[in-house]
Structure 1
Amino acid sequence: MARYVSPPVDSFDSLRQPLTRGERMVFDFFDRNLPEAWEIYVQPHMNGLRPDFVLLNPSAGIAVFEIKDWNLDAVTYEVELREGKSPRLLGKRNGETFSLQSQNPIEKIHQYKQEIFKLYCPRLAKQFGYATITAGVIFPFADDARVHELFRASMQYRGMTQYPEYSPVSGRGALARGDLSAVFPEGRRSRSLYMTPEYANDLRYWLREPDFTEAQRQPLELDNNQRVLATSRTQSGYRRIKGSAGSGKSLVLAARAAELVRQNKDVLVVTFNITLLHYLMDVAVRWGQTGGKTRNRATWLNFHAWCSRVCIAADMEKEYQDLWKEKSQLQEVLKYRLAALVSSILDNDEDNVVPRYDAILVDEGQDYQLSWWDTLRKACKPGGEMLLVADATQDIYETASAWTDEAMSGAGFAGPWSNLDVSYRMPKKALNYARDFALRFLPKENINIPVNDQASLELEPTQLRWVHTVPEIAIDVCRDEITQFFTEEKIEGLTFAETTFLCSSKQFGMGVVNALEELGINSVHTYDRDKQESRRQKVGFYMGDARVKATTLHSFKGWESRLLVLYIGGAASQQELALVYTGLTRLKRSMKGSALTVISTSEALREYGETWPEFEHKVPF
């Protein structure tokens, strides 16, 4: 049988963090010398940790390795003993001593081993489970003897010298000899009394490469209509695109940004949603030969951050700060007054201190005020390009109704909207239930119903589940519904890293995050109550993070995931119903399968939920 390697060997050159020379040497060593039953995971996602290699044999054991390409002659290394604490790794250069403890590989592998045993393989036997786990360090460019001498005290402190076969530390000599017994003594083992395929599967949920990471290495594919929109401009330079959920509006916008960068244009991409920027950048780098330059050469900002940048550039920081002094006027500032200040700055920018752009591309247009669009137009160079994409069905801020053809008559557009109706994101089964929701609950004048992709067959496995419950146990139900996906594999190749939890309340979301952390499951989330910290969390939120994703429905607009758990607490107003629809349309199709679970306490939605393929009513015991 062929060895299982994740990600595949032919993708190594396109990894987000390419293998170092030493890491590639070690991979080749393992691949050449290990029996094929050993699976090799390269830079695996592991609940926020990123070891260099994890090896897994369902019948024999687990191994985690840290690789250090260190030249021990480049810096003078030494270890400082400390009372009651682990020895500290120090470096000396040019008479200066500095701490290298954060890079101490002995401490790293100790942490990896502890977490694998306690969190990621919780069913391993208490008394003997550690005997199934090897944790080692390899220095491909250092002598074995020097490495052992340098880290002897650290290894003794962590008890690694007592059972050296489970804690191997090796250098270039062992690698050069092809000496598996020195590099990984347990590598020849074919069976262990304490390891089973079931335990191995517990760990695989943390090790597998997530679907979105694999997709990030693939070129962006567009249909003919999308490609025309991404590679052309109108005579006036103004274009507006209307499309249903999952129809590729954001893909077109991101591809157009990459096209314009290729033409050496100054490009500004503007969103309403802060978190959406990472998604658009990730899409843009997949387009064409120069897409990889788009992330760094285009400017990516949400609208209010762009306004702040304009004020700073024009030395109008005092005027900007004065806007926010009256807390009661916050919404007025966000909707109108900030845009008015920026518009005035652009009108009076005689010294041209505010950057202008050859092209300005606006996503989530339905969430914008018309005055924002008019303000952005003033930052576009003469003869430049303006693109607006929108979906009125996802009108969660109740602004889409302002974008009538009459209101837009002076907005620079000529001709009708370009339309994208075919949904490529959602599995067909999920799309049908989203359509039904829109027809039941959303205003008919705003509905842009997605159309199924007729060219594709309904082959992707899709699990749709609706759980009706009560607020008193809702947090526990959400926690249980998230973790139940990993108690038995109903969907192929799921990983914790591609699990996404969505709700509309930060307080409730934080409760679910805390409940998961009690089980040792870490999350990257945007639920902090402090506005400044929450903003920082949104900027740092991206799907490539190795942890469970948890955010608000507002912040996940435009994103997608193949494993979604959605909590609905109210859903009474039109705005809340539009938000629910947005959440339902975030599910991404996959030939491996996808799953959407909705947990709801809304009686108004119960009848609709009962139409789902799987429905359950959970009440307190």
Structure 2
Amino acid sequence: MAQIHPDFYTIQHLHQPATEGELILLDFLQKNLNMEFEIYYHPFINGDRPNIVILKKGCGAIIISVNDWDLTDYAINDDLDWWNNSTSTKVQSPFSQINYYKENLVSLHISTFLEKKMNKWYYSNIIYTLVYFHKMSQDNIEKFIHENISKEDNKTKFLKDIKYIQYWGYDSLTLQNLEEYFSKIRIEQPSFLFDEDIYNNFKRYLKPPFHQLEEGIDIKYTKAQAELIRSESRPRRKIKGIAGSGKTLVLAKRAVNAYLRTNSEILILTFNLSLKNYIRDKINDVRESYPWEKFYITNYHQFIKSEANNYNLPIKGLKSYTDINFFEPVKNHIKKYKAIFIDEVQDYQTEWLEIITKYFLYEDSEFVVFGDEKQNIYRRPLDENKEPIIKTIAGNWNKSLNASKRFTSEIGKLAMKFQHHFLENKYTIDNMVVLDNPMLDFEQRNIKYANIGAKASTERIFNIYKGTCKKYCLNPADITILSGTADILREIEYSIRTQLKENTTTTFETKEEYDKSELETKSKNNFEERINTIRRYRRNHFSIKTGTVKLSSIHSFKGWESHTVFLIIEPHKSDSIQDFESVELIYTAITRAQVNLFILNMGNEKYDSFFNDNIQN
């Protein structure tokens, strides 16, 4: 018999009971598969919740969706959209849902998978998909497809879309069918593609580890932080903190305390996808015992996409993310949380917060948001007090986190001068206190500035970087290079790899990946889609604990910190839709640096006189 996680007894006594179809399919699989197969029931894959995943070491994986729809209640129109006839609403098809699960495993969740797929397209063939329609026979499924898709062109397109998806009815659960399917996909034959690395990455998501108390570290919280880390039932709190004041430190400890108090899953949301790994690092530092599977950490857009897919709701463009009634058709089925925490809340639109509190929060739950309006890089509207608008939380902001340990006093002074010079008319200026940080006391400290002109080549910037590293004996592991866009960084990263022969960590595509994507895609939309897929994947796995130089857009590095920062300020582009050198963005970049800050201005006159006046080279 196959291994099943969790065991049948646990599955039958879960708070949310398994459906009849799930239990019947699990029983069939467990009885007919041998011990080499691992069956995972409702694994939580960072937001994605497929019904069943089957794993066979050295061979491959199968994602299974169990569907209890009576297809006679549904229809497919000429655009191949699925509709629920009883509610007259558009729904996501079971085939689209399972494709989403597979695509996320390949292009987002599993480390190293996307690179392997880009080099060898057939890597995605080691993940198979199957939809089990528990209330339909195999013949009735075929009949539904035939009757609902009459146009030959549509039928050809539909069958092409589901070419690699197996679908079964209730009468398909026979040993003969199972053996024929396994023979077709060769799941029982060893595959060099499904190597130890990929298998272990699968296991890490399907069966997250338990965090032992000894894995944490002793953290000395300030008095203000100690007041805020206590988890309570029913509070709604707005916590404001200056850059480096320990907002994420407080969030991490309070989230762990919330789990210890509620013994339930904790939802932690950001705006920046790469920040989830920083939050995870901070939670890992907390000296308590807890299962990692109880912490769901992601950004807002990925959260909404995953939840929409879990409940078969189609995303209709950007408007779906701000539609405060989007989840109304499934409101009685949505999984809710007893504690939700949001970091960098100044990046959030008010509608997003309404959606989260309306559909995902229990009434008596803990809801805490953290922010700093000086890092309002997306220009969200502020209230009459020049503070972020949080309609779902009444009362004043807690402003006790006004002391920073992140950076040296020199960087703190520069940040305050920058606030007074550029931000005074837009925001309330901080009363910043820079606390002593023993870890920085004996560090060499450098703040340097140079206006290298708008026509400076990336080769010149690379040479300045190389010379600076040599002059100040900088370790690549301590360095982060930031800029408003990836265009300049991509060329610099290429030079670091090819000329210095050093590895790198980025939040964007390499030059080779960019060039290859240009050659292989047939349209601008396809090209942009591939580049965005690579960037989502890189941001999802971004970490500073890599022992290499890091390169990132300022947007993707917001919330992080680095011992040494090279900041490239790009020339002002009047024709650009986005402002990649706004004062909020530059302030955010400056306050990422802990010890060393090297600013290279590509002829942006907006900042030249300020940095010349305030940085002594």
Same fold (TM over 0.5): yes
Cα distance between partner residues in 2 of 1:531 and 1:100: 25
Task: Please tell me whether residue 300 in structure 1 is matched to residue 302 in structure 2.
Answer: no
- The answer to whether the 8 A contact 2:566-2:597 is kept is yes
Cα distance between partner residues in 2 of 1:485 and 1:417: 41
- The answer to whether the 8 A contact 2:570-2:581 is kept is no
1:516 is displaced (CA, Å) by 1.4
Cα distance between partner residues in 2 of 1:614 and 1:369: 40
1:405 is displaced (CA, Å) by 9.0
Match runs of 1:485-496 below 5 Å: 485-488=468-471, 490=472, 494-496=474-476
When residues 428 and 400 of structure 1 are mapped into structure 2, their CA distance, relative to the original with a 3 A threshold, is: farther
Cα distance between partner residues in 1 of 2:563 and 2:388: 38
- 1:611 is paired with a residue whose SS is helix
- 1:531 is paired with a residue whose SS is helix
- 1:389 is paired with a residue whose SS is strand
- The answer to whether the 8 A contact 2:423-2:429 is kept is no
1:252 aligned to 243, 250, 253, which one? 250
2:461 counterpart residue number: 478
Task: Please tell me whether residue 362 in structure 1 is matched to residue 342 in structure 2.
Answer: yes
2:309 counterpart residue number: 312
When residues 403 and 500 of structure 1 are mapped into structure 2, their CA distance, relative to the original with a 3 A threshold, is: farther
1:455 is displaced (CA, Å) by 5.7
1:223 is displaced (CA, Å) by 0.7
1:288 is displaced (CA, Å) by 2.4
- 1:381 is paired with a residue whose SS is strand
1:351 is displaced (CA, Å) by 4.2
2:568 counterpart residue number: 567
When residues 96 and 552 of structure 1 are mapped into structure 2, their CA distance, relative to the original with a 3 A threshold, is: closer
1:281 is displaced (CA, Å) by 0.5
When residues 385 and 448 of structure 1 are mapped into structure 2, their CA distance, relative to the original with a 3 A threshold, is: farther
When residues 521 and 405 of structure 1 are mapped into structure 2, their CA distance, relative to the original with a 3 A threshold, is: closer
- 1:401 is paired with a residue whose SS is coil
2:420 counterpart residue number: 439
Cα distance between partner residues in 2 of 1:99 and 1:236: 52
Cα distance between partner residues in 2 of 1:570 and 1:442: 20
Cα distance between partner residues in 1 of 2:465 and 2:257: 39
2:241 aligned to 240, 243, 247, which one? 243
1:262 is displaced (CA, Å) by 2.4
- 2:450 is paired with a residue whose SS is strand
1:504 counterpart residue number: 484
Query: Mean alpha-carbon deviation: is it higher for 415-424 or for 222-231?
Result: 415-424
1:250 is displaced (CA, Å) by 1.5
Amino acid at match of 1:430: I
When residues 541 and 597 of structure 1 are mapped into structure 2, their CA distance, relative to the original with a 3 A threshold, is: same
- Deviation sequence 1:279-305 (CA, Å, 0-9, x none): 010001111222xx4643210110001
Match runs of 1:144-159 below 5 Å: none
1:559 is displaced (CA, Å) by 0.2
1:269 is displaced (CA, Å) by 0.3
Match runs of 1:329-340 below 5 Å: 333=318, 336-340=319-323
1:400 is displaced (CA, Å) by 4.6
2:607 counterpart residue number: 605
- The answer to whether the 8 A contact 2:216-2:284 is kept is no
- The answer to whether the 8 A contact 1:364-1:389 is kept is yes
Cα distance between partner residues in 2 of 1:397 and 1:404: 18
- Deviation sequence 1:6-50 (CA, Å, 0-9, x none): xxxxxxxxxxxxxxxxxxxxxxxxxxxxxxxxxxxxxxxxxxxxx
Cα distance between partner residues in 1 of 2:389 and 2:451: 43
- 2:382 is paired with a residue whose SS is helix
Cα distance between partner residues in 2 of 1:454 and 1:487: 30
When residues 278 and 539 of structure 1 are mapped into structure 2, their CA distance, relative to the original with a 3 A threshold, is: same
- Deviation sequence 1:120-170 (CA, Å, 0-9, x none): xxxxxxxxxxxxxxxxxxxxxxxxxxxxxxxxxxxxxxxxxxxxxxxxxxx
Cα distance between partner residues in 2 of 1:468 and 1:575: 15
Cα distance between partner residues in 1 of 2:291 and 2:461: 38
Amino acid at match of 1:558: G
1:254 is displaced (CA, Å) by 1.5
Match runs of 1:286-435 below 5 Å: 286-290=285-289, 293=290, 295-316=292-313, 319-320=314-315, 323-324=316-317, 333=318, 336-340=319-323, 343-349=324-330, 351-352=332-333, 354-378=334-358, 379-401=360-382, 410-435=391-416
- The answer to whether the 8 A contact 1:442-1:574 is kept is no
- The answer to whether the 8 A contact 2:237-2:397 is kept is no
- The answer to whether the 8 A contact 1:468-1:599 is kept is yes
Q: Report % sequence identity.
A: 21
When residues 544 and 351 of structure 1 are mapped into structure 2, their CA distance, relative to the original with a 3 A threshold, is: same
Cα distance between partner residues in 2 of 1:97 and 1:441: 62
- 2:307 is paired with a residue whose SS is helix
- Deviation sequence 1:182-219 (CA, Å, 0-9, x none): xxxxxxxxxxxxxxxxxxxxxxxxxxxxxxxxxx9743
In structure 2, runs of 5+ residues without a counterpart are 1-187, 197-214, 510-527, 574-578
When residues 369 and 389 of structure 1 are mapped into structure 2, their CA distance, relative to the original with a 3 A threshold, is: same
Cα distance between partner residues in 2 of 1:231 and 1:510: 43
Cα distance between partner residues in 2 of 1:270 and 1:538: 15
- The answer to whether the 8 A contact 1:366-1:403 is kept is no
- The answer to whether the 8 A contact 2:350-2:391 is kept is no
2:583 counterpart residue number: 577
- 1:372 is paired with a residue whose SS is helix
Amino acid at match of 1:226: Q
When residues 405 and 313 of structure 1 are mapped into structure 2, their CA distance, relative to the original with a 3 A threshold, is: farther
1:416 is displaced (CA, Å) by 4.2
Amino acid at match of 1:464: I
- 1:359 is paired with a residue whose SS is strand
- The answer to whether the 8 A contact 1:481-1:597 is kept is no
Amino acid at match of 2:555: H
Cα distance between partner residues in 1 of 2:349 and 2:505: 31
1:587 counterpart residue number: 593
- The answer to whether the 8 A contact 2:447-2:596 is kept is yes
When residues 232 and 311 of structure 1 are mapped into structure 2, their CA distance, relative to the original with a 3 A threshold, is: closer
Cα distance between partner residues in 1 of 2:251 and 2:340: 10
Cα distance between partner residues in 2 of 1:454 and 1:547: 28
2:270 counterpart residue number: 271
- The answer to whether the 8 A contact 2:346-2:372 is kept is yes
When residues 313 and 543 of structure 1 are mapped into structure 2, their CA distance, relative to the original with a 3 A threshold, is: same
When residues 405 and 447 of structure 1 are mapped into structure 2, their CA distance, relative to the original with a 3 A threshold, is: closer
- The answer to whether the 8 A contact 2:404-2:435 is kept is no
1:261 is displaced (CA, Å) by 2.1
- 1:444 is paired with a residue whose SS is coil
Cα distance between partner residues in 2 of 1:238 and 1:449: 23
- 1:527 is paired with a residue whose SS is coil
When residues 265 and 283 of structure 1 are mapped into structure 2, their CA distance, relative to the original with a 3 A threshold, is: same
